[in-house]
Amino acid sequence: MKRENFVCKGDICYSQNLQTLHTVQNGYLVCENGVCAGVFDTLPEQYKNFDILDYTGKLILPGFTDLHVHAPQHRFRALGMDLELLEWLETHTFPQEAKYADTTYAKENYARFVEEMKKGPNTRACVFGTIHGASTEILMELLENAGLCAMVGKVNMDRNSPDYLQEESAEVSAKDTITFLEHMKQKYPHVTPILTPRFLPTCSDTLLTKLGDIQKKYKIPVQSHLSENTSEVEWVKELFPTSSCYGDAYDSFGLFGGESCPTIMAHCVLSGEVEIALMKKRGIFVAHCPESNSNLLSGIAPIRRYLDEGISVGLGSDIAGGTRCSIFYAMAEAVRMSKMRWRLVDESLAPLTVPEVFYLATVGGGAFFGKVGKFEKGYAFDAFVLDDSRYDNKGEYNIAQRLERAVYLSNDDEVLHKFVAGRQLF
Amino acid sequence: MKRENFVCKGDICYSQNLQTLHTVQNGYLVCENGVCAGVFDTLPEQYKNFDILDYTGKLILPGFTDLHVHAPQHRFRALGMDLELLEWLETHTFPQEAKYADTTYAKENYARFVEEMKKGPNTRACVFGTIHGASTEILMELLENAGLCAMVGKVNMDRNSPDYLQEESAEVSAKDTITFLEHMKQKYPHVTPILTPRFLPTCSDTLLTKLGDIQKKYKIPVQSHLSENTSEVEWVKELFPTSSCYGDAYDSFGLFGGESCPTIMAHCVLSGEVEIALMKKRGIFVAHCPESNSNLLSGIAPIRRYLDEGISVGLGSDIAGGTRCSIFYAMAEAVRMSKMRWRLVDESLAPLTVPEVFYLATVGGGAFFGKVGKFEKGYAFDAFVLDDSRYDNKGEYNIAQRLERAVYLSNDDEVLHKFVAGRQLF
């Protein structure tokens, strides 16, 4: 439903900054001309004629951004988690992604992914499709029609991939990417393309050079994987012997951030000092995917370190390295994994707290889309209404405590209403 | 509903042993005289006149045992997880437990715990109450009436506890324990008492001596905590300077296993060689609580090592160190945490697999109750019917794969039917 001006009344919470929650009980969250106008204890005079949507007693939170998710892998999430990464890719991931050559198959299965994303707390996502342009365009259409905001990439793979899932050549991969971009660059207001080399091992130097040129020409953002696990990092070292680090190899092709190239790198579990310095210099967004990093035996990324350095960090489900779409789940796992890193690896990096992972889920990832993730004036109006009555709060907990309980206890069925970019989805 | 003889038809799965799943598609699980008679591809002649409960297309699994859970903490689960253990105990746990002095409060809140346990996949549990005998008796009545099987303990604490949650003396603690045992030892068929010293720091030598005597006299099992986190282990060393390890201190009071003293010890995260040898010698059951151990910054127990040694292991939710009651959740966390232990601490101990944690959830913990956790002849008939259609399996996955998806994707709302000790709860 499209409304330009309205007010949501309820128990409101958002992150002012990494440490500080702003909470207002029985407050008013105002949407004016489709954009957030702020949160108020009492409704200011100028909004008195706006419709009031009464969610008294419910939590109203900013929508979450899933900064790293593979849409075609949603189909087989939570399968083969006992396999090693390479075996998992060969047994499940690659054969599954190959099926998306068929647009009918793609339409049916992407619809399920979009449906799950729509009903949960995530309002925005940065999404990997497959190498198939036509199917990726279908995914974008489904996301746009569902009312969600997303950046979506046709994936590039021209080497080190199974025959059935490898593009014919660097030229074909680049040409298909340009076709995809020409189709999609201005097609939808809320769903836009993003350049998506799968990761360095599956992209030849020729292809990476071409992608660098395409990035410059189209000025589109970039997403890929970085320093996820040991064997992958070793492999990249072999493939790019002259690079100072994994990130430097991307950088040499102009695919590693900088002002005109906003870039998300997923994982960053094993980034060393040189890479961290480069990530910081280039303004890389880290997509932290704690569930995936434990499922696939990768390790635990030093997120506290990145935050201390001022590096941008958001959270990702990394379906199907991760199994759960809701970023609530990634928040709980991010806290737990940071505790285990503190306990088992490095006591100098304090564990993440619930307010901090809430910041990452809202402002941290949202910032990749611009002014997103807060309920302050001028921010996109992304919000959801959560019914936390199942947790038996009985009015005895404050909003920060109720938020914490939602982080740990939320299932997929408690989002009552949802707004994305000022539009009410349900 | 009480039926003595019936058959459940559906897709059946149970653990034959730690590594091996037994699966039968469209099979028949027979309950005869209230006890399991086995699983069959085709229904044997002698059962042809039994009622058939048709769960075609649904998974039928053995009920799970929660080997370690604090019922009074259910009320505030998922709260204060950013606090250090001691601060958490003082802020939430101890004040909350003190409220159970009031039996009206206890009745209301224990009813919520029992309701949640009833609707989920857990059929049995070993439960901590509080120091209050009357409230603990109410908890047992609620569990019995709900049709669940449990061992429940009135907790002992006569030192190092806040004034409002400390028993007056070792004598009073022992006397109240005897009163509780006299009331409850034969009151219910399915819910029985278990001796429950909270842990060594809250029990004086005098009290432990008396509890050892009570154990011998009543021949009841014991549950407590062991080697959970660093500061606690240090504290126990100070309190029992002549003991060779934490477990040895329990042992010196006759509260650490042996043939006539079946004992569960929760956590065992930091057990050393001497303690492991003693655990093995005494037949200790380890209650592995991976979610709690990460939430409370304790670390990751070496479960593979315990299994290699032949030590009995089950899973625990450890509400409210853990947040989720369903043992499905503990299974997923047990796999993940074992992977992180492998990656970050010790590559000689292979990660746990899904079949293995399924074994722990069913046979591993169930064994504390006797022949429980398998669908073999003579085992207790504990089972639940899971509707896994939400995961979109579309008939393409085998039963082992569907089990894996349930482990990672299950919420609390997919158990359609449940049987405990031959009785159908719903």
Q: For position B2, what pLDDT does the model report?
A: 61
Predicted structure pTM score? 0.98
Chain A residues with CB-CB distance to B79 below 8 A: 397, 401, 404-405
Question: Rounded mean pLDDT of A350-378?
Answer: 98
CB contact under 8 A, B411 and A412: yes
CB contact under 8 A, B354 and A82: yes
Question: Rounded mean pLDDT of B125-139?
Answer: 98
Chain B nearest-CA residue for A405 = B78
Contact with chain A for residue B102, Cβ under 8 A: no
* pLDDT surpasses 60 at A32: yes
Question: Rounded mean pLDDT of A111-118?
Answer: 97
In this structure, what DSSP letter does residue B34 have?
A: T
Q: For position A49, what pLDDT does the model report?
A: 96
* pLDDT surpasses 60 at A183: yes
CB contact under 8 A, A397 and B354: no
Structure tokens at A157: 């793979």
For residue range B139-152, list pLDDT tens digits in order: 999 999 999 999 99
- Which residue among B323, B336, B351 places its CB closest to the CB of A408? B323
Which amino acid, B285? F
- Which residue among A81, A324, A339 places its CB closest to the CB of B404? A81
Q: For position A2, what pLDDT does the model report?
A: 61
Contact with chain A for residue B336, Cβ under 8 A: yes
Lowest mean pLDDT among A84-93, A270-279, A350-359: A84-93
Q: How far is A313 from chain B (nearest CA, A)?
A: 20
Helices (H), strands (E): how many in chain B?
A: 15, 17
| Global ipTM | 0.97
Chain B residues with CB-CB distance to A120 below 8 A: none
For residue range A377-399, list pLDDT tens digits in order: 999 999 999 999 988 887 889 99
* pLDDT surpasses 80 at B84: no
* pLDDT surpasses 70 at B93: yes
Contact with chain A for residue B412, Cβ under 8 A: yes
**How many angstroms separate the CA atoms of A248 and A229, rounded?**
17
Contact with chain A for residue B392, Cβ under 8 A: yes
Neighbours of B260 (CB within 10 A): 10
For residue range A229-284, list pLDDT tens digits in order: 999 999 999 999 999 999 999 999 999 999 999 999 999 999 999 999 999 999 99
- Which residue among B79, B353, B391 places its CB closest to the CB of A404? B79
Chain B residues with CB-CB distance to A332 below 8 A: 323
CB contact under 8 A, B297 and A392: no
Closest CA to A266 of A197, A163, A331, A216: A197
Q: How far is A41 from chain B (nearest CA, A)?
A: 26
**How many angstroms separate the CA atoms of B204 and B211, rounded?**
10
CB contact under 8 A, B79 and A397: yes
* pLDDT surpasses 60 at B424: yes
Q: For position B1, what pLDDT does the model report?
A: 54
Chain B residues with CB-CB distance to A298 below 8 A: 343
Chain A residues with CB-CB distance to B407 below 8 A: 78
Question: Rounded mean pLDDT of B161-190?
Answer: 97
- Which residue among A324, A345, A404 places its CB closest to the CB of B78? A404
Q: For position B55, what pLDDT does the model report?
A: 98
State what percent of residues in chain B have pLDDT above 70.
100
* pLDDT surpasses 80 at A221: yes
Q: How far is B236 from chain A (nearest CA, A)?
A: 20
Chain B nearest-CA residue for A342 = B297
CB contact under 8 A, B77 and A343: no
- Which residue among A342, A343, A354 places its CB closest to the CB of B82? A354
Task: Show the 3-state SS of chain A.
Answer: CECCCEEEEEEEEEECCCCCEEEEEEEEEEEECCEEEEEECCCCHHHCCCEEEEEEEEEEEECEEEEEEEHHHHHHCCCCCCCCHHHHHHHHHHHHHHHHHCHHHHHHHHHHHHHHHHHCCEEEEEEECCCCHHHHHHHHHHHHHHCCEEEEECEECCCCCCHHHCCCCHHHHHHHHHHHHHHHCCCCCCEEECEEECCHHHCCHHHHHHHHHHHHHHCCCEEEEECCCHHHHHHHHHHCCCCCCHHHHHHHCCCCCCCCCCEEEEECCCCCHHHHHHHHHHCCEEEECHHHHHHCCCCCCCHHHHHHCCCEEEECCCECCECCCCHHHHHHHHHHHHHHHHHHCCCCCCCCCHHHHHHHHHHHHHHHHCCCCCCCCCCECCEEEECCHHHCCCCCCCHHHHHHHHHHHCCCCCEEEEEECCEECC
Chain A residues with CB-CB distance to B81 below 8 A: 335, 354, 404, 408
Confidence of residue B190 (pLDDT cuts 50, 70, 90): very high
Q: For position A418, what pLDDT does the model report?
A: 98
* pLDDT surpasses 90 at A307: yes
Contact with chain B for residue A294, Cβ under 8 A: yes
Contact with chain A for residue B298, Cβ under 8 A: yes
Q: How far is B33 from chain A (nearest CA, A)?
A: 38
* pLDDT surpasses 70 at A346: yes
* pLDDT surpasses 60 at A46: yes
Which H helix or E strand runs over B205?
helix B205-218
Chain A residues with CB-CB distance to B332 below 8 A: 323
In this structure, what DSSP letter does residue B278 have?
A: H
Residue A16, φ and ψ in degrees, nearest 5: -75, -40
CB contact under 8 A, A78 and B405: yes
Tell me what the pLDDT averaged over chain A comes to: 96
CB contact under 8 A, B340 and A337: yes
State what percent of residues in chain A have pLDDT above 70.
100
Q: Pick the residue with more confidence: B3 or A375? A: A375
Contact with chain A for residue B85, Cβ under 8 A: no
Q: How far is B407 from chain A (nearest CA, A)?
A: 8
Lowest mean pLDDT among A75-84, B147-156, B261-270: A75-84
Q: For position B89, what pLDDT does the model report?
A: 86
Neighbours of A163 (CB within 10 A): 6
Lowest mean pLDDT among A338-352, B1-15, B367-381: B1-15
Lowest mean pLDDT among A152-166, A216-230, B84-98, B314-328: B84-98
- Which residue among B75, B323, B336 places its CB closest to the CB of A409? B323
Q: For position A1, what pLDDT does the model report?
A: 55
Question: Rounded mean pLDDT of B244-267?
Answer: 98
Q: How many CB pairs under 8 A join A and B?
A: 110
Chain A nearest-CA residue for B77 = A405
- Which residue among A82, A340, A354 places its CB closest to the CB of B340? A340
Chain B nearest-CA residue for A355 = B82
Confidence of residue B193 (pLDDT cuts 50, 70, 90): very high
Structure tokens at B196: 């429950």
**How many angstroms separate the CA atoms of B297 and B288, rounded?**
15
Contact with chain A for residue B1, Cβ under 8 A: no
* B21: Cα within 13 Å, side-chain hemisphere: 21
CB contact under 8 A, B291 and A344: no
